Chains A and B, each alone.
Chain A
Amino acid sequence: MTTVDGRHELDREAERLAYKPPEIRHDKQGDMNSEERINKAMHHFVKNFNTQTASYLDGCLHCGMCADACHYHVRTDDPRYTPIWKIELFKQAYKREVGPFAFFYRLFGFKPKVTIDQLEEWQHLLYDSCTVCGRCSLVCPMGIDIAGMVSMARHGMFKAGLIPHELHETAKKAAETGSPLGVTAEKFEERLEWMADEHEVEIPVDVEQADVLACMSSIEIQKYPESMAATAKILNAAGESWTFRTDGFEATNFGMLSGNTEWQKEATLKLINAAVKIGAKTLVLPECGHAYMAMRWMGANMYGKPLPFKVLHISEYLADALNSGKIKVKKVDTSVAYHDPCQVSRRGGATKAARDVLKHLGVDHREMKYGGDYNWCCGGGGGVVTIKRADELRHRVFKLKMDQVEATEADELLSSCANCRQSFDDSQEHFGWKYKMGSLMEMVAENLEEDNS
Chain B
Amino acid sequence: MDLLEFARGPALQWAAYILVAGTIWRIVGIVLLEKKPDYSEPRKSGGYPAAIKVIWTRAFTAEPFAKATLYPKMMAYVMHIGLFMVIFLFTPHIVFFEGWTGFDWPGLPNSVIFFLGVATVVSGVALLVRRLTNPVLKLISNFDDYFSWFVTLLPVVTGLLIPVRALFRYEDLLAIHILSVALLLIWLPFGKLGHTFLVFVTRGTTGMVFERRGAKT
Contacts of A82 in B (CB 8 A): 136, 139-140
Q: Which residue of A lies closest to B28 (CB)?
A: A100
Interface string of B56-96 (1 = CB under 8 A from A): 00110111110011001100100000000000000000000
Cross-chain contact B41 with A300 (CB below 8 angstroms): yes
Cross-chain contact B206 with A144 (CB below 8 angstroms): yes
CB of A56 within 8 A of chain B? yes
Q: What is the CB-to-nearest-CB distance from B2 to chain A, in angstroms, rounded to a whole number?
A: 33
CB of B161 within 8 A of chain A? no
Cα of A85 to Cα of B139 in the assembled complex, Å: 8
CB of A116 within 8 A of chain B? no
B216: contacting residue among A54, A64, A138, A307, CB under 8 A: A138
Contacts of B114 in A (CB 8 A): none
CB of A98 within 8 A of chain B? yes
A58: contacting residue among B136, B142, B194, CB under 8 A: B194
Contacts of A101 in B (CB 8 A): 26, 29, 190
Cross-chain contact A299 with B40 (CB below 8 angstroms): yes
CB of A52 within 8 A of chain B? yes
Contacts of A304 in B (CB 8 A): 39
Contacts of B33 in A (CB 8 A): 49-51, 54, 98
Cα of A61 to Cα of B76 in the assembled complex, Å: 12
Cross-chain contact B69 with A65 (CB below 8 angstroms): yes
Cross-chain contact A62 with B142 (CB below 8 angstroms): yes
CB of B138 within 8 A of chain A? yes
Give how many B residues have a beta carbon under 8 Å from the other chain's beta carbons: 63
Contacts of B214 in A (CB 8 A): 349-350
B34: contacting residue among A50, A58, A142, A145, CB under 8 A: A50
Given known contacts A51-B33, A374-B62, is B135 in contact with A305 (CB within 8 Å)?
no
Cα of A374 to Cα of B141 in the assembled complex, Å: 27
CB of B126 within 8 A of chain A? no
Cross-chain contact A141 with B209 (CB below 8 angstroms): no
Interface string of A282-307 (1 = CB under 8 A from B): 00000000000000111111011111
Contacts of B207 in A (CB 8 A): 143
Contacts of A162 in B (CB 8 A): none
Give how many A residues have a beta carbon under 8 Å from the other chain's beta carbons: 63
Cα of A51 to Cα of B24 in the assembled complex, Å: 15
Interface segment, A72-80, A207-215, A317-325, A425-433? A72-80
Contacts of A77 in B (CB 8 A): 135
Contacts of A110 in B (CB 8 A): 143
Cross-chain contact B192 with A62 (CB below 8 angstroms): yes
Cross-chain contact B136 with A79 (CB below 8 angstroms): yes
CB of B198 within 8 A of chain A? yes
Q: What is the CB-to-nearest-CB distance from B108 to chain A, in angstroms, rounded to a whole number?
A: 27
CB of B137 within 8 A of chain A? yes
A142: contacting residue among B63, B144, B202, B216, CB under 8 A: B202
Contacts of A301 in B (CB 8 A): 36-40
Cross-chain contact A142 with B140 (CB below 8 angstroms): no
Given known contacts A65-B65, A347-B215, A350-B214, is B39 in contact with A145 (CB within 8 Å)?
no
Cα of A137 to Cα of B203 in the assembled complex, Å: 11
Given known contacts A50-B35, A51-B30, A98-B33, is B64 in contact with A141 (CB within 8 Å)?
no
Cross-chain contact A73 with B202 (CB below 8 angstroms): no
Contacts of B1 in A (CB 8 A): none
CB of B101 within 8 A of chain A? no
Contacts of A49 in B (CB 8 A): 33-34
CB of B112 within 8 A of chain A? no
Given known contacts A79-B138, A84-B140, is B58 in contact with A143 (CB within 8 Å)?
yes
Cross-chain contact A296 with B40 (CB below 8 angstroms): yes
For chain B, residues 184 to 217, give those with C-beta under 8 angstroms from any C-beta of chain A. 190, 192, 194-195, 198-199, 201-207, 209-210, 213-217
Given known contacts A59-B201, A305-B39, is B206 in contact with A143 (CB within 8 Å)?
yes
CB of B54 within 8 A of chain A? yes
B145: contacting residue among A52, A62, A79, A303, CB under 8 A: A62
The 6 sampled A-B contact pairs (Cβ below 8 Å) are A54-B30, A77-B135, A138-B65, A143-B58, A348-B213, A349-B43
Chain A residues near B (Cβ < 8 Å) = 49-52, 54-56, 58-65, 67-69, 73, 77, 79-80, 82, 84-85, 88, 98-101, 110, 137-145, 296-301, 303-307, 310-311, 345-351, 370, 373-374
Identify 11 new A-B residue pairs, CB closer than 8 A, beyond the known A300-B40, A301-B37, A307-B39.
Answer: A49-B33, A51-B33, A55-B202, A55-B205, A77-B135, A79-B136, A79-B140, A101-B29, A143-B54, A144-B206, A373-B216
